[in-house]
Amino acid sequence: MTPTRTRIRPYRRAAVRRLDPQLVTTLFDLPQDPECRRQPGQGISEVMARPTWWPFLRADLLAVAAVVNWGLSYGLTKLALAQWRPLTFTGTRFVAMALIAATVLRTQGRLHVLVGPDRARFLLGGLLGFTLYQLGFVLGLDRTSALSSTLLLATIPLFSLLFLRLGGVERVRSRQWAGVVLAIVGVGLLVLAKGDAPRLADARLGDGLSLGAAASFALYGIVTRPLGDRYPASTVLAGSLLIGSLPLIPLALLESPPQRWAAIAPSGWAIWLYSVVVPVYLGYTWWTAALTARGVAAIAPYVLLVPLVGGAIAVAGLGEPLTPWLALGSALILLGLALGRDWLPHLPRPRR
């Protein structure tokens, strides 16, 4: 008797054939399936045919896609800021993203979630993940190098572990604390090794803003994680994005000196369009879906890919110098992250 292969998510293919609210959700969201297990007498081909293994692999792939695009955005945003004023660049982007978010919520019929029982969590997630994070990211990047900004924002997993421990969510082991201390030493070397900025005070301010953005984004993942259990990832992203965009929109009008629109070349507009669609809207949606499927502790370390992508662009594409002290500080940050995530091998204990 030939075993019957399980059909994998037929409702997803049906949703693509017609334009309805379900399409907006199924393009980005992950199902919450149990872990795939091989049953006695069941062949490997039958196990792989089951839909339970795919959500976990897909969560990892979405997290990688998100952080790779975030890494690309550091160098591209640095290039765009040569033509754009930083607050105007941020404010106009979020005008467009707020319109997209409102359209998604209306299409899904979920505008009511912003005034429902979870309104406080949507509000806090929007302020942390978009208002504070984007201000720290853009203003920090404008005052420091793209390489330093990339490496400082790579401390997001450390802040995630710290906040999880302070909130009593997870127990933090001694190796994780050691990783935090080691990475802080690396950050200190990174800040003190600044030699490419016109003013040291500006460089330190830019590094401090980037570090604050990392802490804000770590809190965003923890705050919005419970929302993923009750709503699709696209709804969580759209709701928090719509709220977090509102304080950023007026910034485009408050920039001094004002934006010279004639100074923006087609390449500047192309980077603006890319930053609206890919790293923020799609990237955040992929990241939220991955957090929901795998959890904060499992997904947060993927941020380590950001300095690999962004640093390569900053050094190779922008010509930023890679000094020995900067390299040592970067290595300590990455070593601290590896130690904190328990990726390094344990030394065998001597027998008594």
DSSP secondary structure of 33-82: PPPP-PPTT--HHHHHHSTTSHHHHHHHHHHHHHHHHHHHHHHHHHHHTT
Q: How confident is the model at residue 31 (pLDDT cuts 50, 70, 90)?
A: very low
Least-confidence region, from 216-220, 268-272, 282-286, 311-315: 311-315
Q: What is the CA radius of gyration of the chain?
A: 22
Mean pLDDT confidence for 208-236 = 89
Task: Give the Cα-Cα-Cα angle 104, 107, 109 (nearest 5 degrees).
Answer: 105
Whether the pLDDT of residue 178 is over 90: the answer is: no
Q: Is 298 helix (H, G, I), strand (E, B) or coil?
A: helix
Looking at residue 127, what is its pLDDT? 94
Tokens for 204, please give them.
């330190």
Q: Where are the domains of the chain?
A: 55-340
Nearest C-alpha neighbor of 274 from the set 89, 140, 126, 99: 89
* Average pLDDT, rounded, for the chain: 75
Rounded to whole angstroms, how far apart are CA atoms 318 and 76? 10
What pLDDT, in 10s, does the model give residues 320-342?
Answer: 676 787 778 778 877 876 776 56
Asked whether residue 22 carries a pLDDT value surpassing 80, the answer given is: no
Residues 251-262 pLDDT 10s: 767 766 788 888
Q: Which of residues 55 and 127 earns the better pLDDT score? A: 127
Alpha helices in the chain (DSSP H): 10-17, 21-26, 44-49, 54-80, 86-108, 119-126, 133-143, 146-153, 156-166, 174-192, 200-224, 233-245, 251-254, 266-275, 283-294, 296-299, 305-312, 324-340
Q: Which of 177-191, 212-226, 265-279 has the lowest mean pLDDT?
A: 177-191
Q: Which of 78-82, 106-110, 176-180, 214-218 has the lowest mean pLDDT?
A: 176-180
